[in-house]
Amino acid sequence: MDSEIFYVISFDSTNHAMQTEKNIMKHFEIAIIPTPREITRSCGLSIKIFSLDIEKIIDYVKKLTFTYGLYSVSNKKIDGKRKIKSILVNE
């Protein structure tokens, strides 16, 4: 995928990341990745979503019953850092 951005869901616990992975694979092509270091609050594992349908992603993420963060992440780095935009955070 040659998009300029991708979407990442971060979690407060590894268990929540693994629970989400099992279900989200039915809806999106995903990968488990280390959380980008620019996203400071996380368990260290995130889900990268290979879809640009942000409305569908938001609808899915809003159904999660635990703490998460949904972010857009730029594929381009400026001064060694990627641009991260918080889209939806549930605390």
CA 82 to chain centre: 14
Q: How far, in Å, are 72, 76, 80, 81 from residue 58 at the CA level?
A: 12, 23, 28, 25
Note the pLDDT of residue 8: 97
Share of the chain above pLDDT 70, in %: 98
Which numeric CATH code is attached to 5-90?
Answer: 3.30.70
Task: Compare 40 and 4 and report the one with higher pLDDT.
Answer: 4
Q: What is the pLDDT of residues 11-51, one digit of tens each?
A: 999 999 999 999 999 999 999 999 988 887 778 999 999 99
User: How high is the pLDDT of residue 57?
Assistant: 97
pLDDT of residue 40: 76
What pTM was estimated for this model as a whole? 0.90
Task: Find the radius of gyration of the CA atoms of the chain.
Answer: 12
- In the predicted model, is pLDDT for residue 61 greater than 80? yes
Closest CA to 42 of 87, 66, 12: 12
